């Protein structure tokens, strides 16, 4: 099942041994490759704990000789790093809630109710989904400005209230995993449409919504261009913007930068490792558009 | 009667989402198209219609051409590195699905894709650093002299491509893994009985069957690379973000025109060019897919 793409004929003992050898070397290669992929981040975290002398020593070390917390305390004193992280977190959490709500409702309606007007709506969403955010963020900026919401959480949120892909993902799931008969039976039993949505549809969509939640959260957490133009006061920065502007300062040294980066990286990477299954499911869903 | 009520429910339920969607997507997309044919210099009140004047000026603007050239080099550079590498890594991971380390492979390849952009870019900024960076230290072992990766115009493009490929790889691998899992088993059984080796059946069965996936991943990779910004912002900016020897990309040029030079109409025409590129790439994907469907 798992190895038909690369395996060779396992007819004799000799070739079986050879196959095992091949598998072992593939394992070794993949382990090495994986380590190289995360090496830049590991070194960044290591740098966060190095003393200034060690940071400039050749060759760079992977494990600090005299681990120090100086960089971390310095950066927490110099910058409102925790405030920026809170901004990012609040932005990502609210965006996730908004995207889940809009995607669940729209996905369900577009998946299960067949009217010509809805088909047109679906086509419009499909057509605009291709347009990258960077293309229309300038007019969106002026819309936020006209509401007086620049430099606020709500202004940030306006760019990330809906996600076309989320609507498609839920619609796809509704079509494939919720049988019409189930809904009809509930209607015959006298259930109202709202009741059906909340007590039949939503529970069946739990895993799809879980995957979408992880995607939506990371999308907002790593957003850059939009927060850069919308949140321009030191107190309203998101963590990505705060860090990017912090690193352009003259006096900032590598130790502090690495410390700040490590503080930002560790929670999001940990969250990813915990939610990997959901995340992969959601990302995989993006490739299944037919 | 009942039908009418269901219709009313459907419309009432979708209306709020639709209103939001209209306001935050369709309206600004329409607005960018409208602005691109108007002259609007933020400071002045009136926005006269000037037809294609913005585009005419754009095509004579050497900064725009530099941005377009850099962005295209980055996008295709990322494509050329990411797609073949992702296909191989995905095939190997898939082959070792039952391995004890399968989760480790998937996680480590994917982490760069979810790691926050700015800290990740900073890690690479240090790696590429001319004086302190481990890359030059490593190259020094082979007698290669230290390069100033982030200040040389060509090398800084290479640095951006490496960073973007490193981030894009995980996504492509995951999509390929899904594709590999969906391939029909029977073909591989038949190939095995005919004595095909693993590499042969990958080359002559998996790769052709994965063509639609390759097409999809290529377009997604290209489109997102054409929108590259944060990576360049961190990697190739000097102290105070001053453009010392900066890699100019489309989004950067666009934002600079809108918010530093206050030329919103002009920036809008740049956004329309970006949109056109994206639409062309998507159209190519659809055409090639349809062709394939017609033949098989």
Chain segment A140-181, per-residue pLDDT in tens? 999 999 999 999 999 999 999 999 999 999 999 999 889 999
Question: Cα(B10)–Cα(B7) distance, rounded to whole angstroms?
Answer: 5
Length of chain A counted residue by residue: 290
Q: Hey, what domains does chain B have and what are their CATH numbers? A: 60-295 (1.10.3720.10)
**Per-chain mean pLDDT for chain A:** 88
B268 and A CB contact within 8 Å: yes
> Residue A5: is its pLDDT beyond 50?
no
Judged by a CB distance cut-off of 8 A, whether residue B43 touches chain A is no
pLDDT digits (tens, 9 = 90+) for B1-59: 677 888 899 999 999 999 999 999 999 999 999 999 999 887 777 888 998 999 999 99
- Tens-digit pLDDT profile for residues A35-90: 999 999 999 999 999 888 888 776 677 788 888 898 999 889 988 999 999 999 99
- How far is B198 from chain A, CA to nearest CA, in Å? 3
Burial class (CB in 10 A: 0-12, 13-18, 19+), A84: buried
Angle at B86 between CA B80 and CA B88, to 5 degrees: 110
> Which of A23, A138, A222, A243 is the mutation pick for testing B, counting most B CBs within 10 A?
A138
Distance between CA atoms of residues B162 and A150, nearest Å: 35
CA separation for the pair A217, B143 (Å, rounded):
46
Query: Which of B228, B260, B234, B259 is CA-nearest to residue B246?
Result: B234
Q: What is the pLDDT of residues A211-236, one digit of tens each?
A: 899 889 999 999 999 999 999 999 99
Tell me if B254 and A118 make a contact (CB, 8 A cut-off): no
Looking at residue B237, its pLDDT comes to 65
Q: Which is nearest to A83 in space by CA: A42, A60, B111, A75?
A: A75
Distance from CA of B242 to the nearest CA of A (A): 9
pLDDT of residue A290: 37
| pLDDT given at position B138 | 84
Question: Hey, are the CB atoms on B174 and A136 less than 8 Å from each other?
Answer: no
- In order, the DSSP letters of A40-90 are HHHHHHHHHT--HHHHTPSSPPSS-SS--SHHHHHHHHHS-HHHHHHHHHH
* B226, B250 Cβ separation under 8 angstroms: yes
ipTM of the complex: 0.89
Can you read off the two tokens belonging to residue A99? Answer: 């995207």
> What is the reported pLDDT for B184?
86
Residue B41 has, within 13 A of its CA and on its CB side, a CA count of 5
CA–CA distance, B113 with B217 (Å, rounded to integer): 14
| Tokens found for residue A63 | 């494990």
> Best of A18, A34, A104, A266 to disrupt the B interface by mutation (most B CBs within 10 Å)?
A34
Tell me how many degrees the CA angle A13-A15-A20 measures, rounded to the nearest 5: 95
Contact list, B175 vs chain A (CB under 8 Å): 283-284, 286-287
Helix (H, G, I), strand (E, B) or coil at B41: strand
CB proximity B150 to A under 8 Å: no
**B148-190: pLDDT as tens digits:** 888 788 888 999 999 999 999 999 999 999 889 888 888 888 8
Nearest to B96 among A30, A109, A258 (CB): A30
CA distance B208 to B183: 11
């Amino acid at each position: 099942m798992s190895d038909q793409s690369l395996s060779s004929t396992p007819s004799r003992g000799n070739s079986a041994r050879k196959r095992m050898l091949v598998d072992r070397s593939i394992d070794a290669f993949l382990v090495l490759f994986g380590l190289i992929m995360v090496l830049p981040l590991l070194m960044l975290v290591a740098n966060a704990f190095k003393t200034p002398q060690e940071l400039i020593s050749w060759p760079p070390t992977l494990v600090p000789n005299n681990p120090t917390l100086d960089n971390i305390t310095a950066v927490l004193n110099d910058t409102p790093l925790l405030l920026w992280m809170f901004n990012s977190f609040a932005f990502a959490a609210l965006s996730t809630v908004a995207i889940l709500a809009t995607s669940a409702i729209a996905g369900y309606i577009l998946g299960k109710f067949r009217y010509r007007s809805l088909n047109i709506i679906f086509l419009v969403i499909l057509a605009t989904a291709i347009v990258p955010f960077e293309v229309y963020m300038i007019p969106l900026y002026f819309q936020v400005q006209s509401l007086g919401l620049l430099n606020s959480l709500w202004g940030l949120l306006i760019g990330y209230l809906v996600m076309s892909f989320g609507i498609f993902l839920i619609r796809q799931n509704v079509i494939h995993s919720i049988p019409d008969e189930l809904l009809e039976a509930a209607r015959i039993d006298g259930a109202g449409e709202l009741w059906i949505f909340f007590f039949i549809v939503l529970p069946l969509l739990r895993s799809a919504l879980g995957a979408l939640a992880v995607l939506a959260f990371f999308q907002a957490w790593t957003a850059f261009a939009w927060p850069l133009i919308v949140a321009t006061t030191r107190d309203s920065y998101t963590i990505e913007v705060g860090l990017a502007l912090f690193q352009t300062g003259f006096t900032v040294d590598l130790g502090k930068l690495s410390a700040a980066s490590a503080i930002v990286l560790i929670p999001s990477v940990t969250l990813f490792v915990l939610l990997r299954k959901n995340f992969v499911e959601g990302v995989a869903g993006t490739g299944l558009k037919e | 009667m009942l039908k009418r009520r269901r219709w009313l429910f459907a419309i009432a339920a979708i209306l709020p989402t639709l209103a939001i969607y209209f306001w935050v997507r369709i309206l600004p997309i329409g607005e960018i198209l409208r602005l691109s044919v108007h002259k609007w210099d933020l400071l002045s009140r009136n926005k006269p219609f000037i037809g294609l004047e913005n585009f005419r000026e754009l095509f004579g603007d050497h900064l725009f051409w530099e941005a377009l050239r850099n962005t295209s080099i980055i996008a295709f550079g990322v494509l050329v590195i990411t797609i073949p590498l992702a296909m191989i890594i995905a095939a190997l991971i898939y082959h070792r699905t039952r391995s004890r380390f399968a989760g480790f492979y998937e996680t480590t390849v994917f982490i760069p894709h979810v790691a926050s952009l700015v800290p990740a870019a900073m890690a690479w900024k240090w790696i590429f650093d001319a004086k302190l960076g481990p890359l030059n230290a490593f190259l020094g072992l082979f007698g290669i002299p230290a390069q100033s990766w982030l200040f040389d115009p060509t090398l800084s493009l290479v640095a951006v491509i490496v960073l973007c490929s490193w981030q894009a790889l995980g996504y492509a691998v995951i999509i390929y893994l899904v594709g590999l899992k969906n391939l029909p088993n029977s073909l591989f059984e038949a190939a095995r009985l005919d004595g095909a080796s693993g590499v042969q059946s990958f080359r002559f069965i998996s790769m052709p069957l994965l063509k639609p996936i390759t097409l999809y991943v290529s377009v997604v990779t290209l489109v997102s690379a054409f929108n590259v910004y944060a990576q360049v912002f961190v990697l190739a900016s000097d102290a105070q973000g001053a453009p010392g020897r900066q890699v100019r990309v489309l989004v950067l040029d666009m934002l600079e025109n809108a918010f530093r030079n206050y030329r919103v109409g002009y920036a809008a025409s740049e956004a329309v060019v970006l949109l056109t590129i994206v639409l062309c790439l998507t159209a190519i994907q659809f055409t090639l897919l349809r062709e394939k469907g017609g033949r098989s």
